Structure formats: C-alpha cells, structure tokens
Amino acid sequence: MLSAFAVLLCVTALLAYLNERFLHFPTTVGVTLAGALASILLIVLDALGLPGLRGWAAGVLETLDFTEFVLNGILSVLLFAGALSLNARQMLRQRRSILLLAFLSTLISTALIGFAAYGVFALVGLDVPLMWALLFGALISPTDPVAVLDLLKRARVPLKIETLIAGESLFNDGVGVVIFLALAGAAGLGGHGGEVSAAGVAGLFAREALGGLAFGALLGGLGYALLKGATEHAVEILLTLALVVGGYAAAAALGISGPLAMVVAGLIISAWKHELFTPDTQELVEGFWETIDQVLNIVLFAFIGLDVLLTETTGAQILASVLLIGVALAARWISVAVPFALVRAREGYGAYTVRLLTWGGLRGGIAISLALGLPDSPYRTHLVTVTYAVVLFTIAVQGLTIMPIVRRAVEATPDEG
C-alpha cells in the first residue's frame, strides 16, 4: 500500500509539473487530462507489443482501491477543508437556495438521469435494470466544482454566486451519497438488503441525512469548545485534524452521513474562526487546510485520469456514454432551473445563474468511487464506463470552457452582489 501510494504521489507531482510548465491548464483539469493521456499511451504501447507497463500500473491502482481512497480516506478532509474556506455567515444568509438545490435538485437529477439511462441502455442493447439505472442517476448527480472554484475566485465572481456554487456542491455530495445508499438498500445491495420497502428507504434516508447534520453540529460544538481553550497553532491544527478523522470514523460507525457531518462541522468552525483564532494562528490553520485541500485534490484528479487504465469498454458502452453525457447536462439544467424558480426572485440572483450552475456542475471523485464500489454483476461495467465518460467530459470540456462563460456573466451583471 505504501509503495503504491508513493508511486501515485510521484506520478501526480510529475503530471502537475508538466501541466504548470507546458499546458497551463487549471491544475485539477490539467492533471486529469495528463493522467488520462498517460493511461491511453500505456494501453497503446501494450497493444503494440510492449507488455508489462500497463499491467504494473493497473496493479498499483488496484492496490490503492479508488473507492476506499476517496469515500473512507480523503473525502472527510476535502469536505471539511472546503467548508472551512467558505464565508459561513454569507452561506447562512443563502441557506434556502443552497439547501433547496442540494436536496431537491439532487433528487430531481437522480430521477431524470435514472429513467433516461434505463431507456438509453435499452436503446443501445445493454440490459440494465431500472434500479441499477437509478443508482447511476444517484452517483452521477452530485457536483464537484473543485476545478471551477479557483477560476471563479480569479474572475471575481460575486460572493453570492461563489457561495451558492460552493455551498450546493458541499451539501449535495453528502445528499448524493445518502440517496445512493437508500437506492442500494431498495435494490438489496450493500449492507441494507433488508430495507426494501418505501418506508425502509425513507427511514434510511432520514437517518443518514438528518443524523449526519445533527452529528456535524455536535462535532462543530465540540470543536468550538476545545479550540477556544487552545492558543498554540500546532495544537489547534491537531484538534481540527482529530475532529475530522475521528468524527468521520464515528459517523461511519453510527450509520449516519459522514460527508454531511463534515460540512456542518467545518461551517461551524468557519463561522466562529475570528473568535477562536488570533490573526496569526488563523492564517496558519487556514493555510494548513488550504494546502492539504489543494494537494489531495490534485492527487484525486490525477487518480481519476489514471484510472482509465482499469476501464474496459465496448462499442455499445461508448455509444451509451455519448448519449448520457447529453442526458446529464440536460438533467442538470432542469434540476437547477426548477428549484431555482422558487428562490430566484426572492433572493435576487441574476438571469445567468442557472446557466453558470449548469455548466459549472462538474462531476468528480465521488461519482467514480461509488461506481467502482458497486458489487460485481453483469451491469457494473456498463455503469463504470459511462460514469468515467461523464466525469472526464465535465472536467475536460466544461472545466476548460467555463472561464469565458464566467467572464461574460460577470460583465453582463457587474452590480450583482
């Protein structure tokens, strides 16, 4: 495991260096593309009669286990760090739109993509049951705008819009995982095989989501009490790190949503950070979490690109992938526009916001880790291939073309705050 992680870290550093030196893409986008190109190169060399490298690289990636690496590894750190970096008080003011998008939008998107995917799979000759198609809808619906947020900050997007995009993504990560687990329970997969009734699924969703929110508030309160009595920055960093790692492990043991707990705990610490930290220690604590966040995100996106090595494809799967990329975009637009109609006039968002949320709705590591975590079945490879295609499209195409859209949007509404 240590050797495999060392290889991944060294390859990631090389890809990040090459991107900064030659490609000049946003780092997460660049390392994903470079990793995918490196994987394709290994596949081509293997096909040309140079065996060994592809098998060795695939063995390294399988040793690390992408699902374990993300869901039970770095996800807690990424979500807490993301929440800590937000303006929590501004997010509280926008709580209606953020929570409405995180919950209602994710549910709408799951249904739209799930039923459409069922039809697409049947159209191309792939036999995928409706419940598995809905599982695909659940795992692909959460957005991961990590690669976009840095661009939004550079473009000086209004704080309201930046908070909306970041807040929605942090919460819908957790909501998407909860929906996925509820559907898995209905399908008799994982550890929820007995909960096949509608009441059982609803109970699982409520326990995971509401339990995660409540536990996150408890963790945030505990963190506040401990940090208020600390003054050394090393102790404060250690306390926050223990809060994240220990809290996430405890949430998993309790059977509640660890991702939602991390978001709430991070927001509580963020809301009171000026009271908890002196200016010097706040800079050090925030610098630590920002650096950890950036490094782990780069490693994660490199892993996404390199994992192309493990994806076996057929012609029917490629055709389904092309069709479902369009489906995912259309579903994202509808799932944002419908709930947004309820809050847009009241909260004063500009006309461009739905378009920006749609095109900025990148998918990432959570989608792939959930797909790879599916049990072996005749349908698993179909879902994994299509998931990779949608994720790589959103990162490569949407991630590289979002900046002109952002600039035009900002120029069109210069006074919107």
Q: Per-residue pLDDT tens for 185-229?
A: 888 775 544 445 667 667 778 888 899 999 999 999 999 999 999
Helix 159-186 and helix 106-123, axial crossing angle in degrees, nearest 10: 60
Alpha carbons 57 and 7: distance in angstroms, whole number: 9
Please state, in angstroms and as integers, the Cα–Cα distance from residue 238 to each residue in 74, 165, 389, following that order: 16, 29, 39
- Predicted pLDDT of residue 52: 76
Sole residue written with tokens 């969703």: 205
Q: How confident is the model at residue 154 (pLDDT cuts 50, 70, 90)?
A: low
Spatial CA neighbour of 16 closest among 36, 32, 3, 4: 32
Model confidence pLDDT, tens digit, residues 301-333: 999 888 888 777 899 999 999 999 999 999 999
Q: For residue 116, which of 290, 352, 324 has the smallest C-alpha distance?
A: 324
Distance CA 364, CA 368 (A): 7
Could you give the percent of the chain with pLDDT greater than 90?
A: 50
Mean pLDDT of the chain: 88
- Note the pLDDT tens digit of each residue in 362-405: 898 889 999 988 988 889 999 999 999 999 999 889 988 888 87
| Sequence-separated (6 or more) residues with CB below 8 Å from residue 322 | 389
- Count CA atoms closer than 13 A to 273's CA, side-chain side: 26
340: confidence class by pLDDT, cuts 50, 70, 90: confident
What pLDDT shows up at residue 121?
97
Q: Which distant-in-sequence residues (6+ apart) come within 8 Å of 414 by Cβ?
A: none
Average pLDDT over residues 223-241: 94
CA–CA distance, 62 with 42 (Å, rounded to integer): 16
Of 265, 270, 306, 274, the C-alpha closest to 290 is 270
Which residue, 346, 397, 316, 327, is CA-closest to 125? Answer: 316
- The residue assigned the tokens 């994992």 is 307
In which band, very low, low, confident or very high, does the pLDDT at 416 lie, cut at 50, 70 and 90? Answer: very low
339: helix, strand or coil: helix
